[in-house]
Amino acid sequence: MVIRRTHTRTLGDVISDFLKESGLEPKLREREVLSQWDQIVGTLIAKSTQSIYVKERKLFIHIRSAVIKNELNLIKQGLLEEINRRAGYDMVDEIVIR
């Protein structure tokens, strides 16, 4: 018995559909964007970052230096826009710097 397929799909399309249907795509994009943190803010700020994570559409950034916290607060809106641009959707609504 020969099974003929009338519609073939690439492996990339199948994986993309799986990620969307399973709800894993946003989490995967989130990890991808956070892994680019040093490219987004630069090496100096990245080295002062203790932790960075997203929870309930809020980006939490823990910084060691008070001076760098102040700098990040000054560029918070631009940082928010850049992160969402890299994610390809509105990943975060707010940035919390601690």
Q: Which domain holds residue 80?
A: 25-97
Quick check: is 54 in a domain?
Answer: yes
pLDDT value for 37:
95
Q: What's 49's domain CATH number?
A: 3.30.300
Quick check: is 8 in a domain?
Answer: no
Quick check: is 5 in a domain?
Answer: no
Quick check: is 19 in a domain?
Answer: no
Number of structural domains (the chain) is 1
Quick check: is 1 in a domain?
Answer: no
Quick check: is 20 in a domain?
Answer: no
Quick check: is 13 in a domain?
Answer: no
Q: Are 61 and 98 in contact, with CB atoms under 8 Å apart?
A: yes
pLDDT value for 2:
66
Q: Mean pLDDT throughout 35-39? A: 94
pLDDT value for 20:
81
pLDDT value for 25:
82
Residue-by-residue DSSP string for 34-46: HTTHHHHH-HHHH
pLDDT value for 48:
94
Quick check: is 7 in a domain?
Answer: no
Q: What whole-number distance in Å separates Cα of residue 91 and Cα of residue 85? A: 9
Which pTM does this prediction carry? 0.79
